[in-house]
Amino acid sequence: MRITVSGPPGSGTTSLAKYLATQHRLEMISAGEVFRQIAKERNMDIAELGKLAENDLSIDALIDARQKELAQKRDNIVVEGRLSGWLVENADLKIWLTASLGCRAKRIAQRDEVDEYTARMMTMVREACEARRYQNYYSIDIHDLTPYHIVMNSELWITGQLGAIVDTAISCLKK
């Protein structure tokens, strides 16, 4: 089974993907972790790397190509990343998570140990930057959710509850 989990920063994609990987014994591939690692290697924060990526296609191309290649070669995976639902065309289940900017900024502030205002501003800059890159590089409108089978607001439920919804979908697919 191939599952993708996508959504904006702070929507809970990594948490849900980890849950699904554990519950269903799937290998997890995370584009966000690759992006954060590249930022760290270059002594940048993710917003700075995002700005650089606007003018350097090789950054996104590397992340996206690696993610797509790994996903196509493996069967039992969950692929987490903003474009996973678009790039992993042969996924059995494509999930999009959403939450309000305020909720996501709180989560990001806790995760990245910054204040909420900074998290909100960095998130807005990052999302605008990503939207431009995805449109320019791939002609993908990140706000177009047509590739996704399930769209959930992660503000309403904790990870295990979101996971239970997806568990039900997975069991239906296996029948």
- What is the architecture, at CATH level 2, of domain 2-174? 3-Layer(aba) Sandwich (3.40)
Residue 57's pLDDT band (cuts 50, 70, 90) = confident
pTM: 0.85
Give the burial string for 14-30 (b: 16+ CB within 10 Å, else e): bbbbbbbbeeeebebbb
Residue 71's pLDDT band (cuts 50, 70, 90) = confident
Q: With contact defined as beta carbons under 8 Å apart, do 22 and 101 qualify?
A: no
Q: What is the mean pLDDT of residues 103-111?
A: 95
Q: What was the pLDDT predicted at 74? A: 83
Exposed / middle / buried, residue 55 (Cβ in 10 Å: 0-12, 13-18, 19+):
exposed
Q: What is the mean pLDDT of residues 42-52?
A: 85
**Share of residues in the chain with pLDDT > 70 (%):** 100
Q: What was the pLDDT predicted at 51? A: 81
